[in-house]
């Protein structure tokens, strides 16, 4: 994705999301959210001139994740964390968490809602996403971002 325009990156990410998951209650392409939600996201995330908002999981004003054509922005509580694509190595789930979800929830893997971004410097950033198909679509988008920036 390195050589794609911002619009090309946005289209590619949305194809991945739609093919591997899809929308539900809290997870949509940014343009599909009500104006009030878009305003909250774009007020808190100052986009660069060449950056486009692509996909978000928005539970409420204190819990959301936004993917743009240059960054992943995570808000859990009062602070938002911005990670440039080049900082992201991978997106994964903790095996202990998966085992617990499979053992305790009748929905099995469709109950998963916690993903970890692994940064190139070793930092791990937790994301809380909408469970079910949106979780898997979002996961695949984030894995694609990590793969696209590898040398």
pLDDT mean over 50-57: 97
Q: Which of 142, 133, 17 is nearest to 73 (CA)?
A: 142
For residue range 20-46, list pLDDT tens digits in order. Answer: 999 999 999 999 999 999 999 999 999
Per-residue confidence (pLDDT) for residue 67, from 0 to 100: 98
Per-residue confidence (pLDDT) for residue 102, from 0 to 100: 57
What is d(CA 82, CA 37) in angstroms, rounded to the nearest whole number?
18
146 touches 91 (CB < 8 A): yes
Which sequence spans correspond to the domains of the chain? 6-148
Which fold is adopted by the domain 6-148? PH-domain like (2.30.29)
The pTM (predicted TM-score) of the whole model is 0.91
For residue range 2-20, list pLDDT tens digits in order. Answer: 789 999 999 999 999 999 9
- Cα–Cα distances (Å) from 38 to 62, 64, 73, 118, 142, in that order, read 14, 12, 14, 27, 21
């Amino acid at each position: 994705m390195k050589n794609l325009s911002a619009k090309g990156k946005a289209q590619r990410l949305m194809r991945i999301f739609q093919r591997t998951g899809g929308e539900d209650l809290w997870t949509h392409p940014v343009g599909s959210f009500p104006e009030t939600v878009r305003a909250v996201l774009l007020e808190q995330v100052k986009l660069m001139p060449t950056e486009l908002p692509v996909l978000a999981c928005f539970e409420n004003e204190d819990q959301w994740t936004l993917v743009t054509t240059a960054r992943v922005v995570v808000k859990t509580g009062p602070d938002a964390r911005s990670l440039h694509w080049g900082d992201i190595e991978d997106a994964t789930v903790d095996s202990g968490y998966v085992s617990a979800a499979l053992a305790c929830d009748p929905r099995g893997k469709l109950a998963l809602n916690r993903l970890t971004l692994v940064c190139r410097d070793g930092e791990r950033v937790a994301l809380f996403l909408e469970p079910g198909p949106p979780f898997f679509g979002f996961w695949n988008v984030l894995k694609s971002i990590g793969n696209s920036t590898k040398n």
